[in-house]
Amino acid sequence: TVMIETMLITVLGIGAGLVAGHFVLYFAKPLIDMNLGINLEPFLFTAVEIQGIIITLVAGQILALIAMFRIYSMNLIEEVSRD
pLDDT tens, position by position, 14-53: 999 999 999 999 999 999 889 988 888 888 888 999 999 9
Global pTM exceeds 0.85: no
State the CB neighbour count (10 A cutoff) for residue 9. 12
Of residues 17 and 82, more confidence is placed in 17
Residue 56: its pLDDT value, please? Answer: 93
**Cα–Cα distance, 8 to 3 (Å, whole number):** 9
pLDDT at 46: 87
Q: What is the per-residue pLDDT for 83?
A: 62
